[in-house]
Chain A
Amino acid sequence: MNIIPVPSSRISDTYVQQELLQQLQQQQQGLSKLQQQISSGSQLILPSDNPSAAVQAVGLKSLLAQNQQYATNLTTNSSYLSASDSALNQVNTLLNNVQSIALGAIGTTATAATQQSAAGQVQNTLSQILSLANTVFNGRYLFSGSSTNIQPYQQTPQGVVYNGNNASLSSYADTGNLFATNVTGNSAFGGFSSDFGGVDLNPVLTANTPLSQLNGGQGVAPGSIQISDGTNISTIDLSSAATVGDAAKLIEAHPPAGRTLTVQITNTGLSVSLDAAGGGHLTIANVGGGKTASELGIAGSVSGTGPLVGNDLNPTLTPTTPLANILGTRASVNITSAGINNDLTIQADTNGPQYNGAKVVYVNDAWFQAAAGISAGHEFANYNQTATPAVASLKLSGPNADLLLTATTPGSAYNNVTVNIVNGGAIGDTASASYNAGSKVLTLTVDGTGQTSIDTAITAINSTGVFTAARDASAEPNTSGGFVLPADIRSNVGNTYLTGTDANTLAVHIQSGASTANNVIQAINSTGAFNASLNLSDLGNDGSGAVSDALADPGATGTTSGGSGAAFDQNSGLQIVNGGQTYTISFAGDKTVEDLLNSINGSGASVLATINQAGTGINIQSRLSGSDFSIGENGGQTATQLGVRTLTTSTALADLNYGQGVGHVSGGDFTITRNDGVTFTIDLSSAKTIGDVLNLINNNATNLGSGIPVTAQLNVYGNGIELVDDDPSTTGTLSVTAINSSTAAKDLGLVPSNSATSGPPTLGALAGATVVGAGANNDLTFQAKEPGTGLNGVTVQFVNTGAAPGSESVSYNSGAQTLTFDVGPTTTANTIINVLANDPVAGKLFTASLTATDGGSPNNGTGVIDTTATATLAGGTPDTLSGADTNPQEVPGVFTALERLQTALQKNDVLGIQRAMNLLTTGQQNLSFARAALGANEQSVSSLQSQVQNEQIQLQGALSNNVDVNMAQAISDLVAQQTAFQASLQVTGLISKLTLLNYL
Chain B
Amino acid sequence: MSLFSTLQIASNALQANQVGLQVVGQNIANDNTPGYSREVVNYLPSPTQQIGAISLGTGVEVQGVVQVVDQYLEERLRGANSDVANSSTQSQTYKNLESVVGALQSNSIDSAMNTFFSSISGILNQPESTSARNLAVLQGQTLASNIGNVATRVIQARNDLNSQVVGLTTSINQLVTQIASLNTRIVATEGGNSQVSQAVGLRDQRAEDLTQLSNLVGVTVQQQADGSDNVFVGGEYLVFEGTARQVQTIYSQDTNGLTAANVSVVGDNSPLKAQSGQLAGLLASRDTILGGYLDQLNQFAGTLAFEFNKVFSQGQGLTGYTSVTSTTPVTSATAPLDAAGLPFTPVNGSFQIQTLNQKTGATSTTTIQVDLNGLDKNETSLNSIASQISAVNGLTASVSPNGNLTISSTSPDVQFSFANDTSGALAALGVNTFFTGSLATDLGVNSALVDNPGAFAASTQGIGSDTSNAQTLANFINQPLASQNGLSVGQLNDQIVSDVTQGSAVAQSMATGDSTFQQTLLGQETATSGVSIDQEATEMIQLQTTYQASAKLIATINSLLNTLMNIPL
Interface residues of B in 73-131 (CB under 8 A from A): 94-95, 98-99, 103-104, 110-111, 113-115, 117-118, 121-122, 124-129
Interface residues of A in 218-272 (CB under 8 A from B): 240-243, 246, 249-250, 253
Stretch of A14-22, A194-202, A919-927 that contacts chain B: A14-22
Stretch of A64-72, A304-312, A943-951 that contacts chain B: A64-72
Interface residues of A in 1-42 (CB under 8 A from B): 2, 4-7, 9-15, 18-19, 22, 42
Q: Which residues of A contact B129 (CB under 8 A)?
A: 139
Task: Say how far A245's CB is from chain B's closest CB, in angstroms.
Answer: 8
| A594 & B528 in contact (Cβ 8 Å cutoff) | no
| A147 & B367 in contact (Cβ 8 Å cutoff) | no
| B527 & A9 in contact (Cβ 8 Å cutoff) | yes
A140 on interface, CB distance cutoff 8 Å: yes
B171 on interface, CB distance cutoff 8 Å: no
B193 on interface, CB distance cutoff 8 Å: no
Q: Which of B498, B523, B531 has the most CB of A within 10 A?
A: B523
Q: Which of A65, A208, A539, A540 has the most CB of B within 10 A?
A: A65
Looking across the interface, which residue of chain A has its beta carbon closest to that of B95? A46
Stretch of A96-104, A752-760, A992-1000 that contacts chain B: A992-1000
* A542 to B378 alpha-carbon distance, docked (Å): 9
| A542 & B377 in contact (Cβ 8 Å cutoff) | yes
* A743 to B523 alpha-carbon distance, docked (Å): 120
| A13 & B31 in contact (Cβ 8 Å cutoff) | yes
- Interchain CB contact (< 8 A) of B99 among A46, A147, A171: A46
Interface residues of A in 148-198 (CB under 8 A from B): 148-149, 165, 167, 169-172, 175-176, 178, 181
| B363 & A598 in contact (Cβ 8 Å cutoff) | yes
Interface residues of A in 74-120 (CB under 8 A from B): 76-77
B202 on interface, CB distance cutoff 8 Å: no
Q: Which residues of A contact B367 (CB under 8 A)?
A: 208, 320
A61 on interface, CB distance cutoff 8 Å: yes
* A240 to B422 alpha-carbon distance, docked (Å): 11
- Interchain CB contact (< 8 A) of A13 among B350, B498, B530: B530
- Interchain CB contact (< 8 A) of A995 among B38, B365, B524, B534: B534
Interface residues of B in 495-514 (CB under 8 A from A): 497-498, 500-505, 508, 512
Stretch of B223-231, B244-252, B272-280, B460-468 that contacts chain A: B460-468
A146 on interface, CB distance cutoff 8 Å: yes
| B124 & A172 in contact (Cβ 8 Å cutoff) | yes
Q: Which residues of B contact A707 (CB under 8 A)?
A: none
| A55 & B501 in contact (Cβ 8 Å cutoff) | yes
| A61 & B423 in contact (Cβ 8 Å cutoff) | no
Looking across the interface, which residue of chain B has its beta carbon closest to that of A22? B519
* A545 to B141 alpha-carbon distance, docked (Å): 56
Looking across the interface, which residue of chain B has its beta carbon closest to that of A240? B348
A44 on interface, CB distance cutoff 8 Å: yes
| B498 & A55 in contact (Cβ 8 Å cutoff) | yes
**B153-192 near A? 1/0 per residue, CB < 8 Å:** 0000000000000000000000000000000000000000
Q: Which residues of A contact B515 (CB under 8 A)?
A: 2
Interface residues of B in 29-71 (CB under 8 A from A): 31-32, 38
Q: Which of A46, A208, A540 has the most CB of B within 10 A?
A: A46
Q: Which residues of B contact A996 (CB under 8 A)?
A: 533-534, 537-538
B373 on interface, CB distance cutoff 8 Å: yes
**B119-151 near A? 1/0 per residue, CB < 8 Å:** 001101111110000000000000000000000
Interface residues of B in 333-390 (CB under 8 A from A): 347-350, 352, 360-367, 369, 371, 373-377
Stretch of B10-18, B211-219, B298-306, B471-479 that contacts chain A: B471-479
Size class of the B contact interface (CB-based, 8 Å): 35 or more
Q: Which residues of B contact A138 (CB under 8 A)?
A: 126
A286 on interface, CB distance cutoff 8 Å: no
- Interchain CB contact (< 8 A) of A51 among B118, B494, B502: B502
| A243 & B375 in contact (Cβ 8 Å cutoff) | no
Q: Which residues of A contact B121 (CB under 8 A)?
A: 69-70, 72-73, 171-172
Task: Say how far B232's CB is from chain A's closest CB, in angstroms.
Answer: 29
A47 on interface, CB distance cutoff 8 Å: yes
- Given A140-B128, A540-B377, A68 contacting B362 (CB threshold 8 A): no
B242 on interface, CB distance cutoff 8 Å: no
B22 on interface, CB distance cutoff 8 Å: no
Looking across the interface, which residue of chain A has its beta carbon closest to that of B516? A2
- Interchain CB contact (< 8 A) of B497 among A58, A66, A149, A181: A58
Q: Which residues of A contact B373 (CB under 8 A)?
A: 240-242, 246, 249-250
* A7 to B376 alpha-carbon distance, docked (Å): 79
Q: Which residues of B contact A208 (CB under 8 A)?
A: 350, 367, 369
- Interchain CB contact (< 8 A) of A149 among B94, B128, B377: B128
- Interchain CB contact (< 8 A) of B527 among A10, A146, A172, A963: A10
Q: Which residues of A contact B519 (CB under 8 A)?
A: 2, 4, 18, 22
B532 on interface, CB distance cutoff 8 Å: yes
* A44 to B105 alpha-carbon distance, docked (Å): 11
Q: Which residues of A contact B99 (CB under 8 A)?
A: 46
Looking across the interface, which residue of chain B has its beta carbon closest to that of A962? B104
Q: Which residues of B contact A5 (CB under 8 A)?
A: 520, 523
| A140 & B126 in contact (Cβ 8 Å cutoff) | yes
Q: Which residues of A contact B369 (CB under 8 A)?
A: 208, 243
Looking across the interface, which residue of chain A has its beta carbon closest to that of B124? A171
| B537 & A172 in contact (Cβ 8 Å cutoff) | no
* A212 to B420 alpha-carbon distance, docked (Å): 11
A210 on interface, CB distance cutoff 8 Å: yes
* A48 to B526 alpha-carbon distance, docked (Å): 34
**A40-64 near B? 1/0 per residue, CB < 8 Å:** 0010101111010011011101100
| B524 & A7 in contact (Cβ 8 Å cutoff) | yes
Looking across the interface, which residue of chain B has its beta carbon closest to that of A48? B504
A602 on interface, CB distance cutoff 8 Å: yes
Q: Which of B125, B349, B477 has the most CB of A within 10 A?
A: B125
- Given A140-B128, A208-B369, A601-B361, A51 contacting B422 (CB threshold 8 A): no
Q: Which residues of B contact A594 (CB under 8 A)?
A: 363-365
* A796 to B448 alpha-carbon distance, docked (Å): 72
- Interchain CB contact (< 8 A) of A58 among B104, B371, B466, B505: B104
A595 on interface, CB distance cutoff 8 Å: yes
- Given A13-B530, A55-B501, A171-B121, A48 contacting B94 (CB threshold 8 A): yes
A319 on interface, CB distance cutoff 8 Å: yes
| B501 & A253 in contact (Cβ 8 Å cutoff) | no
- Interchain CB contact (< 8 A) of A48 among B98, B122, B349, B516: B98
B522 on interface, CB distance cutoff 8 Å: yes
- Given A5-B523, A19-B523, A170-B124, A65 contacting B104 (CB threshold 8 A): no
| B422 & A242 in contact (Cβ 8 Å cutoff) | yes
* A172 to B366 alpha-carbon distance, docked (Å): 33
* A742 to B184 alpha-carbon distance, docked (Å): 137
- Given A6-B523, A320-B365, A146 contacting B127 (CB threshold 8 A): yes
- Given A6-B523, A18-B522, A148-B127, A66 contacting B104 (CB threshold 8 A): no
- Interchain CB contact (< 8 A) of B516 among A4, A46, A175: A4
- Given A47-B504, A146-B467, A139 contacting B128 (CB threshold 8 A): yes
Given A19-B523, A76-B126, A242-B423: 6 more A-B contacts, CB < 8 Å: A15-B530, A51-B501, A61-B114, A171-B125, A240-B347, A243-B350
- A–B complex contacts, Cβ < 8 Å, 30 sampled: A7-B524, A9-B528, A14-B530, A14-B531, A15-B526, A48-B98, A48-B500, A54-B104, A57-B103, A58-B493, A61-B104, A62-B110, A62-B477, A62-B494, A72-B121, A76-B125, A138-B126, A170-B124, A171-B124, A171-B125, A181-B125, A208-B350, A210-B350, A243-B350, A243-B369, A246-B348, A246-B373, A594-B364, A963-B104, A995-B533
A-B pairs with the 6 shortest C-beta distances?
A12-B530, A48-B504, A65-B114, A7-B527, A15-B526, A69-B118
- Using CB atoms and an 8 Å cutoff, list the residues of chain A in contact with chain B: 2, 4-7, 9-15, 18-19, 22, 42, 44, 46-49, 51, 54-55, 57-59, 61-62, 65-66, 68-70, 72-73, 76-77, 138-141, 146-149, 165, 167, 169-172, 175-176, 178, 181, 208, 210, 212, 240-243, 246, 249-250, 253, 318-320, 536, 539-542, 592, 594-595, 598, 601-602, 963, 995-997, 1000
